[in-house]
Amino acid sequence: MIPRVNFAHLPTPVEPMPRLGEILNIPNLYVKRDDQTGLAFGGNKTRKLEFLLADALSQGSKTLITTGAIQSNHCRQTAAAAAKFGLECTLILVGESPEQPSANLFLDKLFGANIVWVNEVGSRDSVLDDTFNQAKTAGKQPYLVPYGGSNPTGALGYVFAMQEFLEQKIEADWIVFASSSGGTQAGLVLGSRVFGFKGRLLGISVDGKRNELTNQVADLAARTSQKLGHHMDFSPESIYVNDSYCSTGYGNLTNYEIEAIHLFARTEGLLLDPVYTGRAAAGFIDLVHQGFFKKNDTVIFWHTGGQPAIFAPRYRELIDIYD
């Protein structure tokens, strides 16, 4: 048995998106609602944290340490999970402490997380090491939750998410989703092989180059397979990643993301986030316009969460002015 603590609200629903499907001329369009995984506004990190928390608790850890961007969903969900299990949480965030913490950062503080600021990405790992060692010396038995929750333990969450999806009996030709640190995609890729998903998985890269991400996903899927008891190999060539939509960089919105956010909101009452799902949806819509999908394809947009970020002023202002 693989250690897991159950706190996600599962299975997440799969819902049709008929109004959006009509506009895009994809009648069999669905959304997998991992924005509804239940923990503190949900999102994909909840599934990973079920396995990461089980690991931390089995080691007797008293504090979780992780890192991310100011508006990191991963940090928000980790801070919430720590609170729920009575652990301390320290977040290493890149940037400067704003006068008025908003959105995910506001929530991090609400969950009682300690925040350590680093000015630049380059010094993040050394600050992370220092923070970890200090916590260790202080007897807090720290547990390092990897960036994005993406190591073999965390990726297990998406292996079993694929099993869950297959039990929902929707024969998908394509599953499209945002891909960044690769844990979601690696888990889905491995889960596809283990549980026999016949469709294809398309990760829309949020920030990384295709070659880097496919290598990372293939490697992580292989390492995750060992947690299931036997090693499987994955070639990077078998992993689909589209990196055409991330040239503006992480979290820098263009009109494409903004339009996608408006379209999902106004056709389906669905909230996308600015950084991840907004970008994945923008890429998806563009691919539809390019004729990438066949009209009768069954397509799943796998929603990975992130909505609190929409309330960060820097994003809200941009989304607001567009109409």
Ligand X SMILES: *Cc1c(COP(=O)(O)O)cnc(C)c1O
CA distances from 165 to 121, 195, 300 (A): 36, 10, 10
40's tokens: 């503190």
Residues near ligand X (CB under 6 A), total: 20
Nearest to 206 by CA among 245, 253, 259: 245
43 binds ligand X, rule: CB under 6 A: yes
Residue 72 a catalytic site member: yes
Of 115-123, 172-180, 246-254, 310-318, the window that binds ligand X (rule: CB under 6 A) is 172-180
Cα–Cα distance measured from residue 270 to residue 266, given in angstroms and rounded to the nearest whole number: 8
Q: To 10 degrees, what angle do helices 152-167 and 45-58 make?
A: 130
DSSP string, 293-319: S-TT--EEEEE---GGGGGSHHHHHHH
Do residues 26 and 295 touch, judged by C-beta distance below 8 A? yes
Q: Which position among 58, 61, 72, 235 bears the catalytic label?
A: 72
Q: Identify which of residues 135 and 310 has a Cβ nearer to ligand X in the complex.
A: 310
Nearest distance from C-beta of residue 67 to ligand X, angstroms: 13
Cα–Cα distance measured from residue 103 to residue 269, given in angstroms and rounded to the nearest whole number: 20
Of 6-14, 108-116, 130-138, 182-190, the window that binds ligand X (rule: CB under 6 A) is 182-190
- Owner of token pair 């720590």: 82
Q: Identify which of residues 61 and 73 has a Cβ nearer to ligand X in the complex.
A: 73
* Touching ligand X, residues 59-78 (CB under 6 A): 73-74
- CA-atom Rg of the chain in angstroms: 19
Q: Identify which of residues 102 and 185 has a Cβ nearer to ligand X in the complex.
A: 185
180 binds ligand X, rule: CB under 6 A: yes
Of 250-258, 262-270, 291-299, 303-311, the window that binds ligand X (rule: CB under 6 A) is 303-311
Cα–Cα distance measured from residue 66 to residue 74, given in angstroms and rounded to the nearest whole number: 9
Q: Identify which of residues 178 and 221 has a Cβ nearer to ligand X in the complex.
A: 178
Of 23-31, 255-263, 300-308, 312-320, the window that binds ligand X (rule: CB under 6 A) is 300-308
179 binds ligand X, rule: CB under 6 A: yes
Nearest distance from C-beta of residue 140 to ligand X, angstroms: 26
Active-site residue numbers? 72
Interface residues with ligand X (CB under 6 A) are 43-44, 73-74, 148, 150, 178-185, 273, 276-277, 304-306
